[in-house]
Amino acid sequence: MDAHNGKPATEPPPARLTVDGKHVELEVRSGSIGPNVIDVGQLYKDTGCFTYDPGFTSTANCASKITFIDGDKGELLYRGYPIEQLAENTSFLAVCYLLLYGELPTNAEFINFRRTITNHTMVHEQMTRFLTGYRRDAHPMAVMVGTVGALSAFYHDSTDINDTRQREIASHRMIAKMPTIAAMAYKYSVGHPFIYPRNDLDYTSNFMQMCFAVPCEPYIVNPVLSRALDRIFILHADHEQNASTSTVRLAGSSGANPFACVAAGIACLWGPAHGGANEAALNMLQEIGTVDRIPEYIAKAKDKSSGFRLMGFGHRVYKNYDPRAKVMQKTCHEVLDAVGSKHDPLLKVALELERIALQDDYFIDKKLYPNIDFYSGITLRAMGFPVSMFTALFAVARTVGWIAQWKEMIEDPEQRIGRPRQLYIGHPRRDFPAE
Ligand code: CMC
């Protein structure tokens, strides 16, 4: 290993490929850990062929120093630190600093960063009027896609992506304002007045008070719940090149401003195969209702023609227990204890469903384990969040990951507009019919 850049001292030999009798050599590049990549950037020029990989199962889209996942081991590292250690020992805001700047903050750096973020927690007052233009029954994710996109209309002074300082201000603004926007979306849906941020509270306690306080009585943040939610935010903060992060990078590759890129990420996150799975998992547990109905749902999940999947199960990358799910399960127990619901019937259904699935050949053979979303719904519901807010909370936490990845992309000298190609299977050229 080269001590300076963590790369192997010698690069691996090139890969050899023969296409139509033509031999080409492709450079094989190594990262600091994880699989090597075959650089196919010249393939089309050299052979006239594209690579074909729908769903990007074998494609690395970029080089990144931020997050590493070993799906077979069930390992997740932010800037090299295991997720379990970060969840146990530090705060979400310190993790934000780590993801953005590459190192854990010193005390002085943390105080300074916290001051900067808290200075940006309010949103432009006119945004309250913008937000009240939505229907009351709008899904909070619909409100967030639109409102975060609209930030670029309110904060022109931080949309120049070629200006380092403007990029930094936009990053701080988004980390600071996302909880305010998510809380406003919630308050609007229940007909409560918006609650302004309180900068004397930590990041997560402030978010809870913006969601749950009302002007007519004092609100005391429960420290067990606030710490649990902070940990949930840490677990969701980044996850390598997942669908929404890749969306943010692709949107950003054209030079779009960061508010617009994060709005695109939120739209992608909304889907039930991605961030929407926490909502879908809780709905599924509610539908199952009692443990005696579990076998029926296991059978349905195994039957391809049913179109049903066990929500909160399976992952594109993890072929072992999702390390975030382990921390989430522990957090779930803590929260249920703290709110006096340790006999929540849904927890009983979840634990039994997990136990049965993990012993079933179908799930064993396909390496399907609980993912982060399996226990997050029960936990968030016990904290008082409605199901429709679950994915919005995911978006609050993932914003820092999107921003860190966007920033890395903008600063990457190899960065070019993302422009995939295709295998065309439509009609060949034909002439417009003559009259
Ligand atoms: N229940 C039943 N069967 C499943 C499930 C499931 N949850 N997940 C995958 N399979 C089967 C699937 O039918 C396929 O079978 P076969 O090989 O016979 O065709 C095989 O396992 C591989 O599935 P895939 O769809 O090719 O795998 P993928 O990598 O494209 O999808 C996934 C990954 C997460 C979208 C999928 O496992 C899934 O739909 N899970 C439920 C939704 C969910 O919990 N999503 C949250 C992901 S974690 C949070 C996040 O990162 O956003």
245-297 pLDDT, tens digit each: 999 999 999 999 999 999 999 999 999 888 888 888 999 999 999 999 999 99
Q: Write down the pLDDT at residue 426.
A: 98
**Least confident piece of the model among 112-116, 158-162, 237-241:** 158-162
Which residue do the tokens 């980044």 mark?
Answer: 238
Q: Write down the pLDDT at residue 9.
A: 61
Q: Of all protein residues, whose CA lies closest to atom 28 belonging to ligand 1?
A: 316
Residue 2 in this model has a pLDDT that exceeds 80: no
Res. 342 pLDDT band, cuts 50 70 90: confident
| C-alpha 278 to ligand 1 mean position (Å) | 14
Is the minimum distance from the CB of 231 to ligand 1 under 6 angstroms? Answer: no
Burial 240-260 (b: 16+ CB within 10 A, else e): bbbbbbbbbbbbbbeebbbbb
Is the minimum distance from the CB of 239 to ligand 1 under 6 angstroms? Answer: yes
Residue 103: Cβ-neighbour burial (10 angstroms; 0-12, 13-18, 19+): exposed
Query: 10 Å Cβ neighbour count for 124?
Result: 14
Query: 10 Å Cβ neighbour count for 76?
Result: 26
**Ligand 1, pocket-test mutation among 288, 318, 368, most atoms within 8 A of CB:** 368
Residue 172 in this model has a pLDDT that exceeds 50: yes
- The conformation of residue 344, written as its DSSP 8-state character, comes to -
Mean pLDDT of 61-68: 97
Q: In the numeric block, which tokens belong to residue 6?
A: 């963590």
79-103 pLDDT, tens digit each: 999 999 999 999 999 999 999 999 9
283-341 pLDDT, tens digit each: 999 999 999 999 999 999 999 999 999 999 999 899 998 999 999 999 999 999 999 98
Distance of CA 255 to the CA centre of its chain: 22
Q: Write down the pLDDT at residue 7.
A: 55
Is the minimum distance from the CB of 240 to ligand 1 under 6 angstroms? Answer: no
Taking phi over 0 as left and psi of -120 to 50 as alpha, with beta for the rest, 65 belongs to alpha
CA gap 359, 71 in Å, rounded: 20
Is the minimum distance from the CB of 371 to ligand 1 under 6 angstroms? Answer: yes
Q: Of all protein residues, whose CA lies closest to atom 4 belonging to ligand 1?
A: 309
Q: In the numeric block, which tokens belong to residue 350?
A: 């979840």
Mean pLDDT of 135-153: 95
Is the minimum distance from the CB of 367 to ligand 1 under 6 angstroms? Answer: no
CA gap 30, 14 in Å, rounded: 11
CA gap 258, 277 in Å, rounded: 25
Residue 5 in this model has a pLDDT that exceeds 80: no
Is the minimum distance from the CB of 238 to ligand 1 under 6 angstroms? Answer: no
Q: Write down the pLDDT at residue 279.
A: 87
Q: What are phi and psi of 247, to 5 degrees?
A: -65, -45
* Active site amino acids: 315, 373
Is the minimum distance from the CB of 309 to ligand 1 under 6 angstroms? Answer: yes
Residue 93: Cβ-neighbour burial (10 angstroms; 0-12, 13-18, 19+): buried
Q: Write down the pLDDT at residue 1.
A: 46
What is the pTM for the complete model shown? 0.93
The answer to whether 208 and 396 have CB atoms below 8 angstroms apart is no
- The conformation of residue 371, written as its DSSP 8-state character, comes to -
CA gap 261, 281 in Å, rounded: 27
Kindly report the average pLDDT of the chain as a whole number: 94
Mean pLDDT of 71-80: 96
CA distance between the termini of the chain: 71
Res. 430 pLDDT band, cuts 50 70 90: very high
Q: Of all protein residues, whose CA lies closest to atom 50 belonging to ligand 1?
A: 274
188-210 pLDDT, tens digit each: 999 999 999 999 999 999 999 99
CA gap 228, 385 in Å, rounded: 13
Q: Write down the pLDDT at residue 3.
A: 44
Residue 6 in this model has a pLDDT that exceeds 80: no
Residue 8 in this model has a pLDDT that exceeds 90: no
| C-alpha 273 to ligand 1 mean position (Å) | 8
CA gap 171, 158 in Å, rounded: 9
CA gap 318, 314 in Å, rounded: 8
- The conformation of residue 14, written as its DSSP 8-state character, comes to P
Taking phi over 0 as left and psi of -120 to 50 as alpha, with beta for the rest, 52 belongs to beta
Q: Write down the pLDDT at residue 335.
A: 94
The atom number, within ligand 1, closest to the CA of 312 reads 44
Q: In the numeric block, which tokens belong to residue 419?
A: 């422009």
- The conformation of residue 370, written as its DSSP 8-state character, comes to B
**Ligand 1, pocket-test mutation among 53, 242, 315, 322, most atoms within 8 A of CB:** 315
The answer to whether 154 and 179 have CB atoms below 8 angstroms apart is no
Q: Write down the pLDDT at residue 277.
A: 87
Is the minimum distance from the CB of 401 to ligand 1 under 6 angstroms? Answer: no
Q: In the numeric block, which tokens belong to residue 332?
A: 């779930």
Burial 41-53 (b: 16+ CB within 10 A, else e): eebeeebeeeeee
Q: State the DSSP string of 324-343.
A: HHHHHHHHHHHHHHHTT-TT
Q: Of all protein residues, whose CA lies closest to atom 34 belonging to ligand 1?
A: 315
Q: Write down the pLDDT at residue 403.
A: 98
**Ligand 1, pocket-test mutation among 244, 274, 294, 366, most atoms within 8 A of CB:** 366
Residue 88, classed as helix, strand or coil, is: helix
The atom number, within ligand 1, closest to the CA of 309 reads 1
CA gap 219, 196 in Å, rounded: 13
Mean pLDDT of 162-174: 95
Res. 406 pLDDT band, cuts 50 70 90: very high
